[in-house]
Amino acid sequence: METTGEAPQPEISVTWALEPTTHSFSKDPSPTLKLNLTNHETRPITIYNEFLIPSVVLAEGHFVIFDYTSDRAVDQIKTRFCDFPPPSKVHVPLREQLFHTLHPGEPTVFTATFGRSKMPSQPNQNGSGTSQSRGVDGLEIGHRYGLRPGKGWGYIRWWEYGEKDEVMNPPGGRLDGREMAYSRKKTPHPGIRVDVEALPEIRFECVE
pLDDT tens, 167-206? 999 888 888 888 888 777 788 999 999 999 999 999 999 9
Q: What is the mean pLDDT of the chain?
A: 84
The pLDDT of residue 116: 64
| Whether the Cβ atoms of residue 110 and residue 56 lie closer than 8 Å to each other | no
pLDDT tens, 19-75? 999 988 788 788 999 999 999 999 999 999 988 989 888 888 899 999 999 999 988
Q: What pTM value is reported for the model? A: 0.82
The pLDDT of residue 82: 65
Q: What is the dihedral of CA 41, 43, 46, 47, to 10 degrees?
A: 0
Between 79 and 208, the higher pLDDT residue: 208
How far is 193 from 63, CA to CA, in rounded Å? Answer: 17
The pLDDT of residue 115: 74
| Residues 6 or more apart whose Cβ sits within 8 Å of residue 90 | none
How far is 154 from 197, CA to CA, in rounded Å? Answer: 8
